[in-house]
Amino acid sequence: MMRLGSAVLRLAFAMLAMLAVGGASAQTNVSGVINANAHWTVANSPVVVTGDVSIQGGAVLTIDAGVTVYMGANTSLTVQSGGLKATGTAAAPIRVLSDKTRLNLAAAPGDWNQWVFPSGASNTRLDYVVFQHGKGLVVTGSSPVFNYLDIRDQQGVAISVDLLASPSGVGNHASGNNLNGIAVPAGDITGSVRWGLRGIPYVVTGGTVSVGSSPSIQGVSPTTVEQGQTVTLTINGARLTGVAQAGFDQPGLTLTPFSGGSSSQAFMQLKVDATAPVGPASLQLQVDAGAVVLANAVTVTQPMPAITAIDPTVVLAGTGSNVIKVTGRNFGSSSEVLFNSASVPTTFVSATELRATLPNQTATGSLQTQVRSPDPLHSGQYLLSNQVALSVQAPVPPTIAIEPAPIALPPDSKARDITIRLSKADYRDNTLNFAISDTSKATVSPASLVVPAGQTTAKITIVPKVTGTVSLSVTSPTLASVSVPLFITADFRGANTSFAAPVGVVVQTTPGTETRQVTVANSTVGVAIGGVLTGVSPAAWAIGSNPTVTISGAATPANAQVSVVPSTGISVGAVTVSGDGTQLQVPLTTAPDAPVGMRRLVVRDGAGKDVIFANPQRSAVQLMTGLPAIDSIDPIVAARGTRVTLLVRGRYLQQGTVRVVPDTGVAVDISPQVSSDGTTLTAVMDVAADAPTGNRVIQIVTPAGASTATALASNTLSLVTSVRQAVTP
C-alpha cells in the first residue's frame, strides 16, 4: 500500500511537470505514504486528498502559497516522521477545505478529519493557512510553528495539544468552531514545554494542570475514627507542603493542620463530632502544588471498645483460672472479654476497666484477647475491639525423685515397691521410662508408665537378684532425667533406713500403765496465717535490662526481703512495700550475660520466714535474651482480600507473636513459626476484602516486651486495593 501510494504521487507529479511546461493547471489526487521529499505547487493545484496521507522516513512536504487542498471525507494528514512547510502569504494564502466545496455541495464541520503533528514532526512551519470544515489540528509532543492560521468551522476544538507539545507562532485566529481555543488536558507537566501560540487562547478543558508532579496522597493513619473522638491524622504522600485548605466531604469532621511536616507527610488534628455520620469520608486538600482528593480516606464508626493493655500478659498452663485485668476505653456494663473469640466471665469495673476470668489452660500458645459490646444500632450484633495477645507458657516442670534413697536391697529375688514422686503436680501427663544398668543383677517393672496431670506419685517394682551395685535410670520426654544407685547387699539395713526396725513399736513390754504424749503433724493444706502473695508483674524481662518488679498480695510485711533463685547474674535492690501491704516493689539489675531461663522469686519477712504465694506457680519468672527487634518484613505490600505469608527478620523473636497496628481487617496466625536462634518469624496473615488501605505497623510481642511501635521502613506494611505485577517490555 505504501509503495503504491508513492508511485501514484510520483506519477502525478510527473504529469504536473509536463502540464506546467505547457502553462496549464490540473487537479492532483493524493493519498498514502510520502517517504521522499514532495512539492505541491500552484501549477498542480488543486490537490485533492482522497485517502489518509502520512509523511514518513524524514521526508519533507512543501506547499506553495496559493495552493488549495481539498480534503476528502474523513481523510487526514499526519506528519509521522518528517516535516511540513506550508508557506502561504497574506495575498495568497493556502486553503485546506472540504472536498464538498470543490463539488459545489454544502460543506459542514467535520467533513474531513485532522492534520496531526506528533512527536516525529520536525522542521514544520505553517504560514497563512486557512482550515475550514474539518476536525481541527492536533499537536502531540512536537514543536511546530504556526503563523497567521485561520481555523474556521471545525467540529470540536480549533487546536488540541498534549502536555508535551510546544507549538509557537503569532497572528492566529479561530472562529465558528465548537471551541475557539487550544484545548489542554488535565495532568502533570513534568518536562520543559512552551505555550507559545498567540492569537488563540489556551483552554484547560477539565481538571487541573500541574507544573511538576501533582500532589498525591498514598494513605492516612488512622483510617478508622470514632464519633466523639479527637485524633492526630498523619497524611502520607508527595508534594504536600503548603496546606491551604483541608476537609472531608462529610459533615462533623474538622481538620486543623499542625505546623511542621514535610513534602511527603502532613499532620493534622481531626475532631469527630458525636453526631458525625457513620461511614466513609473522602479527604480533600489544597496545597501549594494543587488540589488532591483521597476517596474513602477514613471511616467513621460508633464509639468502639478498645484495649490498651492487659495484665498479666503471660499466664502459666495448668495453674488454674486467672483473673485478667483489661484496660482501655468505651467499655459498658454488657461488655464481654473474649479469648480466641470465646466469651469468659467478665466483671465491669468502669468504662476503662474490665476483669475477665480465664479458665485453666491445658496447652501453651497465644490467646487473642478482645472485647465485644452490644451494637446499640443493630440488635443482636456486636462492636469488636482490637486484639491483644495473651501468652500461655509452660510452668517450670516438676523434678523426679525416687523414694527411698539411697536404695539398698538384699539379693533375694523378691519384688519390692519403689515410689516415684514428682516435686509438684504438672498440668500435663508425663511419661516415665525406667531402666536398670545391669539386668543380670536386678530388674524393674513396668518399663514405662504415665503420671497423669494433677498427680505426683507412681509405683514401680524392683527385683534384686545378685549382689552388686547398679543404677536405676528414669527418663522422660517432658521432664529432666535422673539416675540413682541401687545397692544389692546382704547388709542392706545399714545402707537404707527404710529397712530399719519400726520406730515407736514395742517388741517386748512389761504389763502396766503407760502414759504417752503424741504430736500429730500434717502437711500444709493451703491455709496461710499472715501475708500471702498473689502475682508478679512483669513475669518476664530481657537480659541486660533493669526492671522494677511488682509483687501483689495482702498483708505483705513492711520489712519483707526478696531474692531470686537461682540468683546468677541478677542483683536485687531495696524493697518498697505499700502502706496497705498490697504491693511490694523491688528493682532488679540483670547482667547482659545472665543465663536465660526460668527463675523463682522468694519473699521472706524480717525473721527470715517465707511469705508464700497462694499459687506457687505465680512465683516463677522468666529471663529472656532481649527485647524483640525487627530488621525487615516481607512482603511490604499486601492486597485486600488476600492471604500472605509474613516473614519477619530480626533479633530475639523467640516465643513471639505478631501484632498489627491498626489491626482493622487483618487477622494473623496466633502460632507463628520462629527459628531456634530467634532471627526469623513466619506467620500467615489474612487481609479482609474490605480492610482499610494504608500503612500498618508490624510488632513482635514476646514475654520480654514488644518491638517498637514507631512506623519505620523496616516494620511498615502497606495495604492496597490490588497489587499489579511490573512487566518490562
Residue with cell 459545489: 104
- pLDDT for 408 equals 87
How high is the pLDDT of residue 23? 39
Summarised one tens digit per residue, pLDDT across range 232-273 is 999 999 989 888 899 999 999 999 988 778 889 999 999 999
Here the contacts of 591-594 (C-beta below 8 Å, separation 24 or greater) are 591/543, 591/544, 592/543, 592/544, 593/543, 593/569, 594/543, 594/544, 594/568, 594/569, 594/570, 594/623
Reported pTM: 0.40
pLDDT for 552 equals 92
Three cell numbers, residue 409: 536391697
With beta carbons less than 8 A apart as the criterion, state whether 233 and 220 touch. Answer: yes
Question: Nearest 5°: CA angle at 234, between 233 and 237?
Answer: 135
- Cell numbers standing for residue 239: 508534594
Strands 570-572 and 279-287, by their bridges, are unpaired
| Residue partners of 564: CB distance under 8 A and separation at least 6 | 570, 572, 588, 599, 600, 601, 602, 621
Predicted confidence band of residue 21 (pLDDT cuts 50, 70, 90) = very low
Residue for grid cell 497496628: 661
231 Cβ neighbours under 8 A, 6+ residues apart: 222, 225, 269, 270, 272
Q: Is the Cα dihedral 299, 300, 304, 309 positive or negative?
A: positive
Residue 194 C-alpha cell reads as: 512552551
pLDDT, tens only, 318-365: 888 999 999 999 999 999 999 999 999 999 999 999 999 999 998 889
Domain 532-624, what architecture?
Answer: Sandwich (2.60)
Could you give the CA distance from residue 499 to residue 492 in angstroms, rounded to a whole number?
8
Phi first, then psi, for residue 619 (nearest 5°) are: -80, -10
Place of cell 484496660: 327
Q: What percent of the chain has pLDDT over 70?
A: 90
- Whole-number percent of the chain with pLDDT over 90: 63
pLDDT digits 0-9 by tens, 272-310: 999 999 999 999 999 888 888 999 999 999 998 999 999
Q: 481 pLDDT exceeds 80? A: yes
- Position 331 scores a pLDDT of 95
Model confidence at 593, in pLDDT bands (50, 70, 90)? confident
**Does 514 have pLDDT greater than 70?**
no
- Give me the DSSP letters along 312-376: -SEEETTS--EEEEEEEES--TT-EEEETTEEE-EEEEETTEEEEEEPPP-S-EEEEEEEEEE-T
Give the model's pLDDT for residue 1. 34
- Mean pLDDT, range 482-486, rounded to an integer: 89
Q: How would residue 624 be classed by pLDDT, with cut points 50, 70 and 90?
A: confident
Per CATH, the number for 216-301 is: 2.60.40.10
* Fold entry, domain 405-496: Immunoglobulin-like (2.60.40)
Mean pLDDT over 41-59 rounds to 96
pLDDT for position 705: 85
Cα–Cα nearest to 666, from 713, 704, 699: 699
C-alpha 551: how far from its chain's center? Answer: 36
Flag whether pLDDT at 566 surpasses 90. no
Give rounded-to-5 percent helix, strand, coil for the chain.
5, 50, 45
Residue type, 494: G
Q: Is the pLDDT of residue 550 over 80?
A: yes
Q: How far apart are the first and last CA of the chain?
A: 29
* pLDDT confidence of residue 250: 94
Give the 3-state secondary structure of residue 99.
Answer: helix
Please name which of 331, 366, 364, 330 lies closest in space to residue 346, comparing C-alpha atoms. Answer: 331
What CATH number was assigned to the domain covering residues 629-720? 2.60.40.10
Q: Evaluate if residue 695 carries a pLDDT over 50.
A: yes
- For residues 622 and 599, is the Cβ–Cβ distance under 8 A? yes
Instruction: Kindly state the average pLDDT of the residues 378-399.
Output: 90
Q: Give pLDDT, residue 495.
A: 41
Q: Rounded to an integer, what distance in angstroms lies between the CA atom of residue 648 and that of residue 212?
A: 38
The yes-or-no verdict on residue 446 having pLDDT over 50 is yes
Cα 340 from Cα 139, distance rounded (Å) = 64
Please give the pLDDT value at position 319: 80
CA pair distance 203, 701, nearest whole angstrom = 58
pLDDT digits (tens, 9 = 90+) for 181-219: 999 998 888 888 999 999 999 999 887 787 777 788 999
Of 247, 243, 220, the C-alpha closest to 233 is: 220
Asked if the domains at 216-301 and 306-393 fall in one CATH topology, the answer is: yes
The listed CATH number (3.30.70.2740, 3.40.50.2300, 2.60.40.10, 3.40.50.300) that belongs to domain 306-393: 2.60.40.10
Task: State the pLDDT at residue 188.
Answer: 84
Residue 226 in grid coordinates: 470514632
Inform me whether the pLDDT recorded for 685 exceeds 80: yes
Report DSSP letters for 386-452, one per residue: --EEEEEEPPPPP-EEEESSSEEE-SS---EEEEEEESS--SS-EEEEEEES-TTTEEEE-SEEEE-
Domain boundaries along the sequence of the chain: 2-211, 216-301, 306-393, 405-496, 532-624, 629-720
- β pairing state of 94-98 and 129-132: parallel
pLDDT of residue 86: 96
Smallest CA-to-CA distance from 432 within 408, 454, 461, 460 is with 460
Predicted pLDDT of residue 509: 42
Do the beta carbons of residue 453 and residue 429 sit within 8 Å? yes
Distance CA 660, CA 669 (A): 11
pLDDT given for residue 124 in this prediction: 96
Q: Is the peptide bond before 538 cis (omega within 30 degrees of 0)?
A: yes
- pLDDT, averaged across the chain: 87
DSSP code at position 3: H
Most trustworthy range by pLDDT among 70-84, 375-389, 712-726: 70-84
Residue 530's pLDDT is 63
Evaluate whether 132 touches 107 at the Cβ level (below 8 Å): yes
Q: Is 90 exceeded by the pLDDT of residue 421? A: yes
